[in-house]
A and B are shown apart, each in its own frame.
Chain A
Amino acid sequence: MARRGRVKLPETETGTILFNLDPIIIKDHYEIDYIHSYAQDSPFFEGLSKGELKGSKCTNCNYTYATPRGHCMNCGKPTQWFTLPNQGAIHTFTTCYFSGEVFLGETPYTLILAEFPGVDTLFMSRLIGADPAEVRIGMNVQAKFLRNSKFRVTDVYFVTAQDG
């Protein structure tokens, strides 16, 4: 048994970054890696890696979604996957001159909500290569995909279609 007085925590060479003393303000690093499952939405991301946009269609009421959605928001019944056309049109758009940290280096960039014929809902994505001043509602756009898939929704983006 260790004798009282000899028990102590070992000291370390690491320290704390201190900004201020009154009040004490320190740098407190905050970063987390998640083990994240796409679960029932997985086929959507698999589709992106194959150059396909996957939408969801209700097996009961036939409502069609341009997004991954396991169950219908109208009737609650399961949906099934279908492949969206790679061409659509701009339903609405905005150009971002400021953004979250992840996209800050890419500003200004244009976001669109794309609409597809016969599909009841929209799909949000980025429009690349278009002068913001030239973008118009109704303009035809074409989906493109990163060759090296990151399995992120940003694997897909849009460009203006040749005939647009």
Chain B
Amino acid sequence: MRPVYMVSGGIAKFKKAYPDRDFRLLVKEAFDYAMSDVPELTLEIIDGSVASYFSDHFTRQLMAGAMAQDYLGLNPKPSRRVEGGGATGGLCFQSAWESVASGRMEGQRVHRPGLGHQLRLLPRWLLLRLLRHDGAVPHARVRNHRGAIGQNIHQKPPQRHSQPIRPEPHGPDSGRRAFLSNGSYAAHPAGHLTMSDGAAVCILASEEMAARLTSNPVRITGVDADTDAMRMADRPHAKVPILPHESESDYTHLKYPGVHSFRAGRMAAALAYKMAEVQNPLEDLDFVELHDAYTSSELQTYEDMGLYKYGEGGRFIESGASELGGVLPVNPLGGLLACGHPVGATGLMQAVFAFWQLQCTIRKHMSDPFLQIPNARRGLIHSHAGTGTDITVSIMERP
């Protein structure tokens, strides 16, 4: 496989609704931003696209990818749409990586249509159902298996939810962080994440093309996406897949994944680490863009990724490691709970933020260097669908 680089990215600001712009125009804005950031990029040298568009309910368009392709002036070049719930963006990113790695395409753009009129249609029901019902069930079990976690969860730094990227609140519960640290719940209630609208674009290229286009590309060194049973109830209660820096004796009594952990996330991390030659993620990564569509999943994901052992993820937060300036900053730009979650765009937003971090261009794109992680060389982006049914992990590095 050929090495694949990200050469540019753009984001149309995520906000509650865009009555004055439909998804095609949002994608166009993100696309134009990405194109203008690398002046050598022209429509002519783009070989094709992958559209990251989650639900037909959102815009009531069955071929929103085709509509964006048309609007951007990319016809008759190849395009396809990728869909995988909340992980749609991460899957799209990896699908585009495959196109370039295989040699089928040279420079490749990954875009995602925004969710159009989603707030007026079904998704409020769909998404809140996902977050509230399925997402909330594991928590009591988490508590039961892991003793102290309940005490840890509520200590997550609240400032992460008011990072400067998205100052306006997304809903009445935005930023609400009410967790009980005693009693029978580990996390209660789950934060109410209001969905948002927006678009993001990543432009990928081969090594040769990347070198022609920019002096500051970022290499995609590890990718994997894994899955689990659609119903949480059907997931196994078996042995923990061990990461290189763990041992079987760490988990002699833990039935895995049950409903307390995400096997798909652990498997995706394991393979992406292997590909990118990450031995110990806590030491080898400089930041993580983590899919925190519901608060407790952040804690669960720390453990799935092997940052701390299962049952000890709370210590990772307690230690301050995830803070800006910590050992391994997580979601320095606020994550999903701050930016909202325009489903298909979210995974690509993470890639764009990671790209800017690794380029050290946060100051340029945010008009403020505060969120720049000094000397970031290697970052991980993580995209999560349907309470762990499909999870992607991609690792990006400054060459």
Residue numbers of A with Cβ under 8 A of B are 20, 23, 25, 30, 65-67, 69, 73, 91-102, 111, 113, 120-124, 133, 135-137
Closest 8 CB pairs of A and B: A100-B129, A92-B141, A122-B233, A94-B136, A100-B125, A92-B140, A101-B125, A121-B234
Contact A99 B140 (CB under 8 A): no
Q: Does B275 contact A (CB under 8 A)?
A: no
Given A66-B233, A111-B133, A113-B259, the answer on whether A137 and B128 have CB atoms closer than 8 Å is no
Q: Does B184 contact A (CB under 8 A)?
A: yes
Known: A73-B229, A101-B124, A111-B133. 20 other contacts (CB 8 A): A20-B19, A23-B19, A23-B20, A30-B60, A30-B122, A66-B233, A67-B231, A91-B259, A92-B137, A92-B138, A94-B139, A94-B140, A98-B128, A99-B129, A100-B128, A111-B136, A113-B233, A121-B234, A122-B234, A124-B231
Given A30-B60, A92-B259, A101-B125, the answer on whether A65 and B234 have CB atoms closer than 8 Å is yes
- Interface residue tally for chain B (C-beta within 8 Å): 34
Contact A99 B233 (CB under 8 A): no
Closest partner residue, chain B, to A24 (CB atom): B19
**Chain B residues with CB under 8 A of A73:** 229, 234
Q: Of the candidates A69, A120, A121, A124, which one forms a contact with B137 in the assembled complex, judged by CB atoms under 8 Å apart?
A: A124
Q: Does B112 contact A (CB under 8 A)?
A: no
Q: How many Å lie between the Cα of A20 and that of B231 in the bound state?
A: 42
Contact B184 A123 (CB under 8 A): no
**Chain A residues with CB under 8 A of B140:** 92-94, 137
Q: Does B237 contact A (CB under 8 A)?
A: yes
**Chain A residues with CB under 8 A of B259:** 91-92, 113, 122
**Chain B residues with CB under 8 A of A133:** 183-184
B85 CB to nearest chain A CB (Å): 16
Q: How many Å lie between the Cα of A142 and that of B156 in the bound state?
A: 38
Contact B189 A97 (CB under 8 A): yes
Closest partner residue, chain A, to B190 (CB atom): A94
**Chain B residues with CB under 8 A of A25:** 19
**Chain A residues with CB under 8 A of B19:** 20, 23, 25
Q: Which residues of B, 298-322, contact A by the 8 Å Cβ criterion? A: none
Contact A67 B133 (CB under 8 A): no
Q: How many Å lie between the Cα of A77 and that of B303 in the bound state?
A: 33
Contact B192 A98 (CB under 8 A): yes
Q: Does B174 contact A (CB under 8 A)?
A: no
**Chain A residues with CB under 8 A of B128:** 98-100
B192 CB to nearest chain A CB (Å): 6
Closest partner residue, chain A, to B139 (CB atom): A94
Closest partner residue, chain A, to B173 (CB atom): A98
**Chain B residues with CB under 8 A of A30:** 60, 121-122
Q: How many Å lie between the Cα of A100 and that of B122 in the bound state?
A: 10
Q: Does B132 contact A (CB under 8 A)?
A: yes
Q: Of the candidates A65, A111, A120, A135, which one forms a contact with B237 in the assembled complex, judged by CB atoms under 8 Å apart?
A: A120
Q: Does B151 contact A (CB under 8 A)?
A: no
